[in-house]
Amino acid sequence: MRAAIALILITAAAVIWVTNAWLTERFSETTRVRQELRSALYIGNLRSELQRTAVVPLLLARDPALIGSLNGNDYSTTSARLIAAQKDINVASIRLLDASGRVVGATDRLMIGSNEVMRPYFVEAMRSRDTVFSVSQNAAGANEFVYSRAVVADGKALGVIAVAADLLRLERSWASISDAVAVLDSSGTIILTTESRWRGLTLPEALQVRSAPSAIERAYQVTADWTNMPPDAYVGGRAVMQTESRVPFRGWRMVSFATYDSIRERVNAVLATEIMGFAILLAATFYILSRRERFKSAAVMRESADLRALNSRLKAEISERVRVQRELRVAEQTMQQSSKLAALGEMSAGVSHELNQPLAAMKTYLAGARLLLQRGRSEEAMSSFQRIDDLVDRMGAITRQLKSYARKGGEAVEPVDLRASVSAALTMMEPQLRGSTIRVSNNIPREKIMVLADRVRLEQVIINLLRNAVDAVKSQRDPMIDLTVSAGSRAHVSVRDNGPGVADLEKLFEPFWTTKKPGEGTGLGLAISSGIVSDFGGRLTAHNEAGGGAVFEVELPLFEPGTRQSKSDPTDGTNLAAE
């Protein structure tokens, strides 16, 4: 009996030992596989968040409102616009910096006015014309994962738009599920972790950070560890299993840790049940795990299909936008030409008067020359012929000026003397001004004022402003127009009249808005002129004088040698030369 009892005890001990070792190994492997699958899901969420955030700077850098704010130094609505964008796209923060590195708009209004010129996301974005990624610490000591891109207009970097990805939200979700998770960058430094004390350390340094256990805790740990497999590491004084996965982004790695508590609980449950119960439980566990993973895989596949469909729609929208931009450019050129032809129609009466006077004088000179030749006074007749030749040259100059103005302007810009364009516009308007009682004073400097522009389109802008001034002073007792050309850091052309002024300055440059009577104007002249000046990198503004009258001012950048360039169509990259 003793031998039988001893045999039973020995057999029981052997069975318990073998069963414990075998089940411990099996459940440890299951936990490791589950940990690897969970790491794959975490990596997918991390990549998805980074990819989603990477698109945002590209879209915001092309936002006309932000570009206009940087151009005009008007940031009154910039922060509100960024806050609305943050709510729509769910990112950590958005900030807009000007070319000097000063924060001019941010979702966190406390940052407005701060200087970020030394931050990596600003420096790298200004060096590159593409979206750049950087990791830096904010004022609170937490890591910021920022995508930034330079805001470029007319080939010039106006500032930087920076968007911070909300990766701390992923940290919080990991902490509620896993025991410990850490993301390391390419240098081995921990940049994301559920353990706040690990941030900024290497993995070996982080694993050494733990509190000293008490004697009871050490005794409990010794009795718990002898039944487990040799642990990979210790976290917080507890033996853990370590798994490592590669993150396909800038050489990052993800390391996750799981305790052996769940393994020990399942092994004890199996040892306390019948063999049949253990088999059923094990089968049910594997079935549940496999089903959950199938659900996750199906969800990932659906998400991938949605992303592909979204990508296709974006490509179609981009193609449609390019086509619309081309058609809009053609329509703008047609409207500009129509505006010039309308101006030529109004000036035709004055031009015919200008041509009739030389024709009448030529008839008189020819009659006198005929009499002189009949009387044998050929030398005096030659003088009459010379006067006729001068009159022909004058008529030719008038027609050449009209033909030059009537042709279509091009997209190419070249150095143009602003004074010559103003003089040519005054010559075109001379017949209308001569036949009226309007006093025109002009202040044009002697020195050249060179700007980058298309001469024909620039003359069209000045003529439109002069025509509007003439119409504005028709009803005045003492009509007067003052034309001034000046240059400082930029070139300026100012047209001032003593008319009644402009009633609605906000709608002044909108197409088809006019204060003239039906049939006297289309409302396109100022809208076209504003678009032309914007193409040259300048701006057209208007305001009313305190004593009455309106002032229209054209502001253009001065031409500097070595910066000559041609405007090109952004849709196809082909340079358009002037006709």
Give residue 163's pLDDT: 94
Task: Report whether pLDDT(203) > 90.
Answer: no
Q: Which residues contact 337 (CB under 8 A, 6 or more apart)?
A: 408
CA distances from 46 to 41, 145, 435 (A): 9, 12, 76
Domain assignments of the chain as residue spans, ordered by start: 412-557
pLDDT tens-digit readout, 398-424 = 665 555 555 555 566 789 898 888 887
CA distances from 399 to 165, 354, 355, 357, 389 (A): 64, 10, 9, 14, 15
pLDDT tens-digit readout, 121-151 = 999 999 988 899 998 877 666 788 999 999 9
Confidence of residue 468 (pLDDT cuts 50, 70, 90): confident
Strand, helix or coil at 360? helix
Architecture, CATH, for domain 412-557: 2-Layer Sandwich (3.30)
Instruction: Give the distance, in angstroms, between the CA of residue 333 and the centroid of all CA atoms in the same chain.
Output: 26
Give residue 493's pLDDT: 92
pLDDT tens-digit readout, 243-279 = 888 988 888 999 988 776 666 666 666 666 544 544 4
Task: Say how far apart CA 151 and CA 161 lie, in whole Å.
Answer: 7
Give residue 531's pLDDT: 81
Q: Which of 205-209, 265-269, 472-476, 561-565 has the lowest mean pLDDT?
A: 561-565
Residue keyed to tokens 């795990």: 289
pLDDT tens-digit readout, 144-174 = 899 999 999 888 889 999 999 988 888 888 8
- Compute φ and ψ for 554, nearest 5 degrees: -105, 125
The token duo for 165 is 């990805």
Task: Say how far apart CA 327 and CA 147 lie, in whole Å.
Answer: 34
CA distances from 354 to 302, 396, 404, 506 (A): 77, 11, 17, 39
The one-letter code for the residue type at 354 is E
More confident residue, 526 or 520: 526
Half-sphere exposure (CA, 13 Å, Cβ side) for 90?
Answer: 8
182 within 8 A of 197, measured Cβ to Cβ: no
Give residue 223's pLDDT: 42
Model confidence, pTM: 0.41
pLDDT tens-digit readout, 535-572 = 888 988 988 888 788 899 999 999 887 655 444 343 33
Q: Which of 83-92, 406-415, 449-458 has the lowest mean pLDDT?
A: 406-415
